[in-house]
Amino acid sequence: MAVITISRQFGSGGSEIAALVSQRLNYTYVDKQIIAEAAKKSGLPVGNGKIEFTEYHSELRSFIDRLLFPGPHIVAQVSVRGDDESSVFVEELDKSEALTLVRDAIHAVYQQGDAVIVGRGGQAVLQEMPEVLHIRMIAPLSYRLLQVQQAHGLDMEEARDLIAQRDRRSAAYLKEVFGIDWDNPLLYHLVVNTARWQPEVAADLIADAVRELAG
């Protein structure tokens, strides 16, 4: 009944490796859909629409803004789109609301077990829980640049800007909502440099660690 949390740098190939791990262990691969389930249970009018969870980064709120307006501020948004992809409902969440939604979703997955949770702050929410393996996926910038260029059809500078933007957003969101530094290696059982391993080998390494954890 083990659970794996995957934190990955953008362009590291972490999502691909996470999918391979879930296949090897026959675990459920969960990403943003866990937010959809939690949103439905929270009472938001989501119906059968397509749910998207967008994380905002705290740098959008300036230092002066924080001094002048110290109250709750928006850190995430739940959007619900109908079959025609037109937005039918938008709910903006402050720090407390976002934390509750994500925490409830991740704990529900943890209770079910046998899952790979990709992103969403799983390493923070389940940090002290038993039978959870926390993994961090990293890679050199040169490797990530090549991966992002190929995946998104960007030139070097466009890829560099996108990587920097995504890294800032993820780091700031995790710091804002969960109070963690996602680069802190002490949060993880394993930190995997994906440039050093083929995806299949990295997946085997993680799967073996899970089997050892499960005993």
**What are the pLDDT digits (tens) for 26-69?**
999 988 776 666 666 665 555 555 656 666 544 444 444 444 44
Q: Is residue 54 part of a domain?
A: no
Top-confidence residue, 112 or 206: 206
- Cβ–Cβ under 8 Å, residues 43 and 60: no
Q: Is residue 58 part of a domain?
A: no
- How many whole angstroms separate alpha carbon 159 and alpha carbon 175? 24
Residue 160 has pLDDT above 70, yes or no: yes
3-state secondary structure at position 15 = helix
Q: Is residue 67 part of a domain?
A: no
Q: pLDDT band at residue 194, thresholds of 50, 70 and 90?
A: very high
Q: Is residue 57 part of a domain?
A: no
**What are the pLDDT digits (tens) for 78-132?**
666 655 555 555 566 666 777 777 888 888 889 989 999 998 899 999 999 999 9
- How many whole angstroms separate alpha carbon 165 and alpha carbon 160? 9
**Residue 76 phi/psi, 5° resolution?**
-160, 165
- List 134's β-bridge partners, or say none: 5
Q: What is the structure's pLDDT at 45?
A: 53
Q: Which residues are CB-contacts of 200 (< 8 A; sequence separation ≥ 6)?
A: 20
CATH number for the domain spanning 162: value is: 3.40.50.300
Count of structural domains, the chain: 1
Q: Is residue 59 part of a domain?
A: no
**Residue 120 phi/psi, 5° resolution?**
70, 10
Q: What is the structure's pLDDT at 24?
A: 95
- List 5's β-bridge partners, or say none: 117, 134
pTM, two decimal places: 0.81
Q: What is the structure's pLDDT at 3?
A: 95
Q: Which of 68-72, 120-124, 183-187 has the lowest mean pLDDT?
A: 68-72
Average pLDDT over residues 3-11: 96
Q: For residue 119, what is the DSSP state?
A: S
Q: Is residue 126 part of a domain?
A: yes
Domain span at residue 157?
Answer: 3-43+95-214
Q: What is the structure's pLDDT at 108?
A: 86
Average pLDDT over residues 188-210: 96
Q: Is residue 56 part of a domain?
A: no
Q: For residue 10, what is the DSSP state?
A: T
Task: Say which residue the tokens 């996602």 belong to.
Answer: 182
Q: Is residue 146 part of a domain?
A: yes
